[in-house]
Amino acid sequence: MTQHDVHHRTGEAVVTVTDAAGAPVRGAVVEVEQRRHAFGFGNIGFDFVGLANGEPDDIGTQALADLWLDVFTTATLPFYWGRFEPERGRPDTERLQRTAAWFRDRGVATKGHPLVWHTVQPDWLLGLGDDEVERLQRERIRREVRDFTGLVDTWDAINEVVIMPHFANGDNAITPLARARGRLAMIRMAVEEARATNPVVTLLLNDFDLSDAYECLIEGVLEAGIRIDAIGLQTHMHQGYWGEDTMLAMVDRFARYGLPLHLTETSLVSGDLMPANIVDLNDHQVDSWPSTPEGEARQADELERHYRSLVGHPAVEAITYWGITDAGAWLNAPIGLVRADGTPKPAYDALRRLVKEEWWTGPTTLVTDDAGQVRFRGFRGDHAVRSADADAVVTVGRDVAAVALRQRS
């Protein structure tokens, strides 16, 4: 299998059509069309909190939401503690619950980002002792996981823990706690508190440091018996696309742990690239960073190559692009798939063509055999099947799926 082969993303299904008496119907016409991918084609849902809550919002318009919903199947929602609970005891729970429900009602799965992080922390934690900060952090984990069970059942349990004990870009109360307790203790706290609150929760480590330091940390987590469900890999490429060979070599390194890989934060620039000498991307602060025709063509080409290579890798389970629009994008960078004026860039069209056309089943029409059956191979996920006045949804997965349609007349 080549890395661009997506045959492993498909599965088989058998549809049996019977008449009202239960006898197989030969020559019945069966219509098949995919409804949803099993693969996680994700994007952040930050822009639609206002829309989901009926609030005026210059960014999250319905037109932008329609573009988002036509491609993506999973939404990452913002749970940065300092913004979620800027005033102690007054978390933004109801607005985020309504947002998660808004996505759920549209068939979109949600992920919370993150439960534990040293950045974007509430100021009211400053000055408290480590024991008190740990108690409050544990309470925060339990509260969010409890309040969002059934709405958000996947979480970045802890974010960027490789640098957490040594982070020095601004005061926060979590870095001293991580220094005092150690990385593994911080990860254990995040994972065990979340899982004790919701036993079926899916939990990720998430990091931008993809060096051997992250590998060593993962090995320590596994050796310590701390159960994580997936490994999160950030790939913000403001300084240029890394290329398929570099990306796949990195993915191979992390695939050896036998856990699903989520490319949790991906971005590609459609304008001038950030200078290569900048180490911390946050240090590049500009008021204007325009998208350009040349940059948009480059972004579309790189995005298609990026997705083809990663979807072709069997260990990758999800890719989350970090932003639908240039409006309000991280670092003011032109990383969106839609321009600030609401018009799609070539990169949006390229990704939609892959997700909804090339990697999509149907619509197609089949005819049953003498046993009243049709067999089809489709991309893993939910498929609508219909014959005459009977219809159903069949989920195509690793094993052969089966569904029966009983015509009423």
Kindly indicate the confidence band of residue 56, based on its pLDDT and cuts at 50, 70 and 90: confident
Measured CA to CA, the distance from residue 146 to residue 132 in angstroms comes to 21
Distance of CA 211 to the CA centre of its chain: 22
Q: What percent of the chain has pLDDT over 70?
A: 99
For 115, list phi and psi in degrees, rounded to 5. Answer: -80, -40
CA distances (Å), 241 to each of 265, 266, 302, in order? 14, 10, 7
Model confidence at 3: pLDDT above 80: no
Model confidence at 4: pLDDT above 80: no
Kindly indicate the confidence band of residue 394, based on its pLDDT and cuts at 50, 70 and 90: very high
Model confidence at 230: pLDDT above 50: yes
Average pLDDT score, the chain: 96
Mean pLDDT of 70-90: 98
Q: Longest Cα pair distance anywhere in the chain, in angstroms?
A: 76
Kindly indicate the confidence band of residue 57, based on its pLDDT and cuts at 50, 70 and 90: confident
Residue 335: predicted pLDDT = 97
Residue 168: predicted pLDDT = 85
- Complete edge-to-edge strand list for the sheet that includes strand 364-367: 364-367, 29-37, 381-387, 390-396
Measured CA to CA, the distance from residue 324 to residue 17 in angstroms comes to 42
Kindly indicate the confidence band of residue 60, based on its pLDDT and cuts at 50, 70 and 90: confident
Helix or strand (DSSP H, E) at 38? none
Measured CA to CA, the distance from residue 204 to residue 76 in angstroms comes to 13
Kindly indicate the confidence band of residue 311, based on its pLDDT and cuts at 50, 70 and 90: very high
Task: Check: CB of residue 370 under 8 Å from CB of residue 14.
Answer: no
Model confidence at 71: pLDDT above 90: yes
Helix or strand (DSSP H, E) at 305? helix 293-311
Measured CA to CA, the distance from residue 355 to residue 79 in angstroms comes to 28
Measured CA to CA, the distance from residue 279 to residue 6 in angstroms comes to 35
User: pLDDT tens-digit profile of 91-106?
Assistant: 999 999 999 999 999 9
Task: Check: CB of residue 63 under 8 Å from CB of residue 407.
Answer: no
User: pLDDT tens-digit profile of 150-164?
Assistant: 999 999 999 999 999
394 DSSP β-pair partners: 383
Kindly indicate the confidence band of residue 255, based on its pLDDT and cuts at 50, 70 and 90: very high
Residue 373: predicted pLDDT = 97
Mean pLDDT of 215-242: 98
268 DSSP β-pair partners: 237
Mean pLDDT of 172-190: 98
Residue 24: predicted pLDDT = 97
The SS3 of residue 296 is helix
Mean pLDDT of 392-398: 97
Tokens of 66: 């329609």
Measured CA to CA, the distance from residue 236 to residue 44 in angstroms comes to 14
Tokens of 5: 């082969």
Task: Check: CB of residue 10 under 8 Å from CB of residue 380.
Answer: yes
Helix or strand (DSSP H, E) at 178? helix 174-181
The SS3 of residue 217 is helix
Model confidence at 1: pLDDT above 50: no
Measured CA to CA, the distance from residue 262 to residue 266 in angstroms comes to 10
What's 354's DSSP letter?
Answer: I
Distance of CA 222 to the CA centre of its chain: 23
Tokens of 341: 């004026």
User: pLDDT tens-digit profile of 5-27?
Assistant: 899 999 999 999 999 999 999 99
Give, rounded to a whole angstrom, the gap between the first and last alpha carbons of the chain: 46
Kindly indicate the confidence band of residue 409, based on its pLDDT and cuts at 50, 70 and 90: confident
CA distances (Å), 290 to each of 293, 331, 333, 339, in order? 10, 12, 8, 10
Measured CA to CA, the distance from residue 330 to residue 322 in angstroms comes to 8
Measured CA to CA, the distance from residue 396 to residue 12 in angstroms comes to 6
Residue 157: predicted pLDDT = 98
Mark out the alpha helices in 149-243 (DSSP H runs): 174-181, 183-197, 212-223
Q: Which residues contact 54 (CB under 8 A, 6 or more apart)?
A: none
What's 46's DSSP letter?
Answer: G
Residue 174: predicted pLDDT = 98
Task: Check: CB of residue 50 under 8 Å from CB of residue 60.
Answer: yes
Residue 215: predicted pLDDT = 98
Q: What percent of the chain has pLDDT over 90?
A: 94
Place of tokens 């015509």: 407
Residue 2: predicted pLDDT = 41
Which amino acid does the sequence have at 170? Answer: G
